[in-house]
Amino acid sequence: MKDIMKRNYKILLLVLLLAFASCSFTSKTFEDPNKDKLLIQLISYVLNEGHFSPVDVDDDFSGLVFDDYIKQLDPLKRYFYESDIEEFSAYRNSIDDQIKEYDLTFFNLTHERLLKRMEESKEIYKEVLSKPFDFNVDEDFSTDYDSMPYVTSKKEMKERWRQQLKFSTIANYDDLLVQQERGAKNKDPEMAFDENSDAANTVKTEKQLEEEAREATLNSLNELYAFIGERQRKDWFSVYINAIVEEYDPHTFYFAPEDKDRFDVDMSGNFEGIGARLQKKMDAILVNEIISGGPAWRQNELQVGDQIMKVKQEDEEEAVSVVGMRLDDAIKFIKGPKGTDVTLTLKKVDGTIEDITITRDIVELEETYAKSSTVIKDNKTFGVINLPKFYVDFDDYNKRNAASDVKQEIIRLKQQGMEGLVLDLRDNGGGSLQTVVDMAGLFIKEGPIVQVKTTGEPKEVLKDRDMSIVWDGPLVILVNELSASASEILAAAMQDYKRAIVIGSKQTYGKGTVQNVLDLNRMVRNNSNGDMGALKFTTQKFYRINGGSTQLEGVKSDIVVPDRYKYIGIGERTYDSPLEWDKIDATDYDLWENYYDYETTISKSRERMANSDQLKLIDENAKWINTIRETENFSLNYKKYKERLNTNEEEAKRFEKIADYKTNLTFNSLPYEIKLMEQDSVLKQKRERWHQNLSKDVYIEEALNVLNDLKMTYGVKTKVAAVKD
């Protein structure tokens, strides 16, 4: 929510101070030849001066950092010994002092020890997996790692690895056995009795299957360690830094340079490059996906499965080999400014070597953006807009953003005669605050949308000042436990105005804070340490126009419907260090008075929900899923292991009807998109899949029922002429 910085005097003052600091100030505070120490200096200063609720960096803080950091380094407790932890514990209450003194002693000790223990573990897992597992032995395995003690000897460490690897391998063994049994059933029955047939010869013994299962476990670990081996010291240092900053609150986070790039792409939904997703497999950089509409897709030569061996820029004579290179480093060579050419040397799936040249361009990640559909119910045309996030281009707000896109989709839906709108914010984790303020203004004439509070300063009320209304008809907003931040602001504002009916989980995520992203490079003069990355830190809290915070409590739906997350711990309240809930004074606003049966409609929907067999089944399934998730003890005896799987599978059959649910509703793309799909088969497949899912979605069905029930005190203006840009 970088936009907030423009309205936040305190943060703006901080940034200006850093940008225009005197030479003596800069030299004294922010120039250290050691990049790691410099990073601690910068981050400590920003958090102490700019965080909404700075914490006391004391012994208690130190202990929390210690626990979280060690847990992140060794979550399965299969690297460190009890003696290591005892040695580390000497620093448990002094990490705070080291932070203040920019001392790296604790980090250096843990980092060097981790690398040593991980190197030792390579020999352990290879030795363990060189010998067969006996799945007839009665033994149990616990995944309650928090309660598990650290080992005290190499013998205990080997035993811990043995149990963990046996647990992984028994799952592989079961998969192979099931595959073989299915294969046997699918073969010609007449061949089943021919001992000389290929079918008979392909049946493997339990011993052979066990060996294959161990090999699969070994290959997975080898790939994992190859990935870990690519991590550099700076990557591990980022883990340490984040163990520190996350004690301020769950949404304060340090972005290493590569992570900042990914964050920007995630928030804007676009980047400059060739339009391909890549993955690292062993030493090879492979094409995992061609992004629809991107340069590589338009050129139509790069294919999924191709290995990129070399990369050459348009102004270079020699290509650079990316074989064995870290994926992030390889991507830096492949991405580049719009309009420039990059030549890739490929090893095609058939083994041939080929050079192709692609002109880079703006690549838009279509799945990030708003999409819409029409549906007819009871002879009325309704619109559905799905918004995955509140995206924005941080460098230029006037470029594509969520508010302008939703506005455009509403205009297009009105051209199709829309009489009611469902705005689907399920799984929408938020994004830009400015876009949500602008978007709320599409549905009301004018007025406050959200209140923002900075420590020690008067509250600020962010308002919609545009007198036009783009959509004045019935509105339903769908949410769930994963609807967060900006999603909660929009849902809360529309609920407070009684402009929309909110349908979904008992409460949304509960993230009521605002973050600012600060480029740390701006704080250092004559930086010779390379890219310092960026810090996302909490600068403000936002409040509903009725004064209540969405922090922890989220937005409570008008109509509560069960879903798969109902009994699983999800949301801000599950974190260790969230900011507290509080309340401020309400601001003045006028209720939307154009629904004369608002409460009646909610009551009718609640009655339908209470009598829905589909929702009752979903609720039972949610309880069952939670029971399975909370299971921590497993048998490593295959007979007992299989019995448990069979029991779970039988229980799961009760819930197969959930996926079979269908409505009689048909969803259709808008005319402009149908034209695009004529040239883009991938987009067509994506939309067909989305429409199919909508037609089986009981929540969408109920949202349309609610729209159908809502009565307006005046006729809905469906003409596009009613829109004022």
Is 138 annotated in the active site?
no
Please, which residues bridge with residue 641 across strands?
Answer: none
Closest-CA residue to 455 (of 50, 35, 18, 46): 50
- Cβ neighbours of residue 269 closer than 8 Å, sequence gap 6 or more: 364, 365, 368, 369, 391, 400
* Look-up of token digits 């980092």: 111
Residue 558 to residue 500: CA distance in whole angstroms: 10
Residue 379 to residue 323: CA distance in whole angstroms: 59
Q: Which of 432, 485, 487, 549 is catalytic?
A: 485
Please, which residues bridge with residue 463 across strands?
Answer: 448
The SS3 call for residue 538 is strand
- Cβ neighbours of residue 254 closer than 8 Å, sequence gap 6 or more: 43, 238, 241, 242, 245, 533, 534, 535, 536
Q: Which of 347, 371, 511, 541 is catalytic?
A: 511
The SS3 call for residue 539 is strand
Residue 543 to residue 585: CA distance in whole angstroms: 9
- Give the distance, in angstroms, between the CA of residue 553 and the centroid of all CA atoms in the same chain: 21
The SS3 call for residue 378 is coil
State which H helix or E strand residue 25 sits in: helix 23-30
Please, which residues bridge with residue 381 across strands?
Answer: 376
Closest-CA residue to 208 (of 231, 232, 177): 177
Phi and psi at residue 365, to the nearest 5°: -85, 95
Closest-CA residue to 514 (of 465, 555, 455): 455
* C-alpha Rg value of the chain to the nearest Å: 29
- Cβ neighbours of residue 75 closer than 8 Å, sequence gap 6 or more: 145
Residue 512 to residue 481: CA distance in whole angstroms: 14
SS (H, E, C) 579-598: CCCCECCCCCCCCCCCECCH
* DSSP letter (8 states) at residue 356: E
Burial class from Cβ neighbours inside 10 Å (0-12, 13-18, 19+) for residue 378 reads exposed
E strand residue ranges, 194-275? 253-255, 270-273
Query: What number of other Cβ atoms are within 10 A of residue 365's Cβ?
Result: 20
Phi and psi at residue 500, to the nearest 5°: -135, 160
Q: Are 425 and 387 in contact (CB under 8 A)?
A: yes
- Cβ neighbours of residue 181 closer than 8 Å, sequence gap 6 or more: none
Tokens of 522: 């701006």
Residue 641 to residue 170: CA distance in whole angstroms: 8
Please, which residues bridge with residue 507 across strands?
Answer: 556
Tokens of 337: 């400014």
Q: Are 523 and 15 in contact (CB under 8 A)?
A: no
Q: Are 380 and 665 in contact (CB under 8 A)?
A: no
The SS3 call for residue 61 is helix
Is 321 annotated in the active site?
no
Q: Which of 496, 558, 563, 709 is catalytic?
A: 496
* DSSP letter (8 states) at residue 81: B
Tokens of 655: 């819930």
- Cβ neighbours of residue 561 closer than 8 Å, sequence gap 6 or more: 503, 504, 505, 609, 615, 698, 699, 702
Is 6 annotated in the active site?
no
Q: Are 657 and 617 in contact (CB under 8 A)?
A: yes
State which H helix or E strand residue 383 sits in: strand 380-386
Residues marked as catalytic: 485, 496, 511
